[in-house]
Amino acid sequence: MAGAGGGGNDVQWCFSQVKGAIDDDVAEADIISTVEFNHSGELLATGDKGGRVVIFQQELESKNQPQCRGEYNVYSTFQSHEPEFDYLKSLEIEEKINKIRWLPQKNAAQFLLSTNDKTIKLWKISERDKRPEGYNLKEEDGRYRDPTTVTTLRVPVFQPMDLMVEASPRRVFANAHTYHINSISVNSDCETYLSADDLRINLWNLEITDRSFNIVDIKPVNMEELTEVITAAEFHPNQCNTFVYSSSKGTIRLCDMRASALCDQHSKLFEEPEDPSNRSFFSEIISSISDVKFSHSGRYMMTRDYLSVKIWDLNMESRPVETYQVHEYLRSKLCSLYENDCIFDKFECCWNGNDSVVMTGSYNNFFRMFDRGYRQDVTLEASRESSKPRSVLKPRKVCTGGKRKKDEISVDSLDFNKKILHTAWHPQDNIIAVATTNNLYIFQDKL
Amino acid sequence: MDVSAEAKRIMAVSISKLYASRAQRGGMRLHRSLLLSVVMRSARDLYHSACLAKEREELGTAHLVQVTPEEGAMDTTASGEQVEVEVSQVEPESPLTPTIQEPMSSDSDAAQGACKTRTFIGKETVEDKENRSPVSPDRHSRKRRGKASVAPDFLPSKRARLSLELGEERVLRTGRRTCCRAGDAFTTLSLNSNRAIAAF
């Protein structure tokens, strides 16, 4: 495993690439809404608010510079979802891509699932680098030859052509969610996947589009009694019978599909008792979990709420084993963050390849890494200013009070419009993809 | 009082956000509406308990108390309640109730944790209908009486909302339903095929 380091010890992060428009005037359709590496890390997919998916492919390392990692270049771009209209409810269905999940590769083609609020699609991305030429009965442009001119027999042969990458929708999984889909997760059995909305989780077979099984339903009989919603769900990386879902109340439920067909009863409930001294109007909002991710090992899971990242041991339900404060200095600003809607931001989090470091985003285009082993954390910034090739990122620091030191930023100077909600870590290497509003930054550790 | 002013401000902000979310592209987000209504409820409960505490102080003199200064706030809370009921249809338990329990032992509704404001006319007390707790007998008459009794035009009535929800369920059960609930499949085999694949 390359790159065992992380946020602390001696790893230095360098700028590698930035993708996206340079100008500050951001078109809403270009806002990145999801980022995901595939299982090998060779491909990096992004989804945006305009319903498009852009896939980047890592170039092979050149033989001249074996120490340099390959760059990511555009491999395929396609329109995954279009805006739709629900005529019954007179509501527009946004085309924004909420999540992308790659399927493990089984053959030459790549497959990914992409979802908006209501519909999940399975896309096949395949390469074509040769085409048949030399037909007997038709010209190269496709026109049929005059039969009287055909005097010999020739068989077409494959000739090389410029590489063409085709994306085609293979399955469309629609009409199964009343509420807005927030998560999809492919099962380790590679045959099924789950999709979760605010109140329900459905289990699908990748081959079958006209039926899905409802496995979790927390909708109360009387909607006025609703107290919590599902915010994220994920299958266990190794155990195909196990999945977790998080709630807006800060709880995580682990369910075992072997126990019953309907997993309304959880097998485990992970909940940390609330600290009464931190009680405020906004306690419920900031305890809402915005993301849940299993570690690669499957032993731990990580949750992200508004102010912190928590690591849970699946064997202990009473409290997390580790808690990392992402931006505790915002606790005293919750009222303003409520007024400007920032308190509703849904930050994601991710593990590095060997589960030693976790990463999540913050405001002012800052992102944070927490090294679990060395107990160190670092704050870095994704900005055009520090985007010279291979320039080392300087750790940033937010001044929380008192005299502001040089190079520190005061809390009041933070730009809350510049938020990093989506980050991804290469499964095997120290390469990270960090999405600002409409740009994708790729950083790697200094070799 | 600082606390009540803050609570009132948060209530107003929450209500305006709930209204604004109706026009949002993609429709109202259930999660966001739930959180907004939770905050609004907490703020409302705190505000009412602060009002009540204030009125208690003034009770000591048994004077005629004009509630005009608070009517402005009541306007917001009344429409807030309407919004809460009609727009988001969520009424989660207020997590702050333990800290703001009013010792209104004479009133059985106190257990609900809802704050009551009273208009004092002489020595009689007349209950303010709009802020009554949900278990009171005529809970369906949530409409305000008085000068601002007409609900704003752009708010659909509660009945229309309920029928929309039911309509949604009916349509979703027929034809285009693709979601199958395993438990239901066994128990509803005797019913027609449409209901057998009802998700909920």
- Name residues 7-46 of chain B within 8 A of A (Cβ): 7, 10, 13, 17, 25-27, 29-32, 34-35, 38-39, 42-43, 46
Least confident of A16-30, A262-276, B55-69, B181-195: B181-195
Which residue in chain B is spatially nearest to A90 when comparing CA positions? B27
| Burial of A397 per CB tally in 10 Å (0-12, 13-18, 19+) | middle
Structure tokens at A211: 């039926």
pLDDT digits (tens, 9 = 90+) for A341-400: 999 999 999 999 999 999 999 999 999 999 999 999 999 999 988 888 888 999 999 998
pLDDT band at A300 (very low <50, low <70, confident <90, very high): very high
Q: Are A408 and A419 in contact (CB under 8 A)?
A: no
Report the Cα A321 to chain-centroid distance in Å. Answer: 24
Is B162 within 8 Å of chain A by CB?
Answer: no
**Which pLDDT tens digit goes with each residue over B162-192?**
444 444 444 333 334 455 554 443 333 333 3
Could B39 and A224 be called an inter-chain contact, meaning their C-beta atoms sit closer than 8 Å?
no
User: Which residue of B33, B86, B179, B200 is the best one to mutate when testing the A interface, meaning the one whose CB has the most A CBs within 10 A?
Assistant: B179
Q: pTM for the full model?
A: 0.77
Is some CB atom of chain A closer than 8 A to the CB atom of B89?
yes
How far is it, in rounded angstroms, from Cα A50 to Cα A303? 28
- B110 part of contact set with chain A, CB < 8 Å: no
What is the rounded average pLDDT for all residues in chain B? 56
CB contact under 8 A, B178 and A175: yes
Report the alpha-carbon distance of residue B127 to residue B69 in Å, rounded. Answer: 18
Say whether pLDDT at B121 is over 60.
no
Verify whether the Cβ–Cβ distance B27 to A212 is below 8 Å.
no
CA distance A199 to A178: 9
Instruction: Report ipTM (2 d.p.).
Output: 0.90
Q: Which residues of A88-103 are buried (b: 16+ CB within 10 A; e: fewer)?
A: eeebebbbbbbbbbbb
Dihedral angle of Cα A229, A235, A236, A237, to the nearest 10 degrees: -140
Closest residue in chain A to residue B86, using alpha carbons only? A224
Cβ-proximal residues to B166 (8 Å cutoff; 6+ apart), any chain = none
φ, ψ of residue B154 in degrees (nearest 5): -75, -5
Residues of B in contact with A219 (CB under 8 A): 200
**Cα of A229 to nearest chain B Cα, Å:** 6
Does B182 contact chain A (CB < 8 Å)? yes
DSSP letters, B15-69, are: HHHHHHHHTSTT---HHHHHHHHHHHHHHHHHHHHHHHHHHHHHHTTT-----HH
Task: Give the H/E segment covering residue A95.
Answer: none
Q: Using DSSP, state whether A146 is helix, strand or coil.
A: coil
Tell me whether residues B26 and A344 touch, CB distance under 8 A. no
Q: Give the Cα separation of A16 and A431 in Å (integer).
A: 9
Question: Which of B17, B35, B181 is the closest to A288 by Cβ?
Answer: B35
Residue B33 near residue B24, CB atoms below 8 Å: no
B161 at interface of A, judged by CB pairs closer than 8 A: no
Residues ≥6 apart with Cβ < 8 Å to A292: A232, A233, A234, A244, A245, A246, A252, A301, A302, A303, A304
Contact B27 A91 (CB under 8 A): yes
Q: Which two tokens stand for residue A8?
A: 């602390």
The number of CA neighbours under 13 Å toward the Cβ of B120 is 15
Average pLDDT over residues A15-22: 92
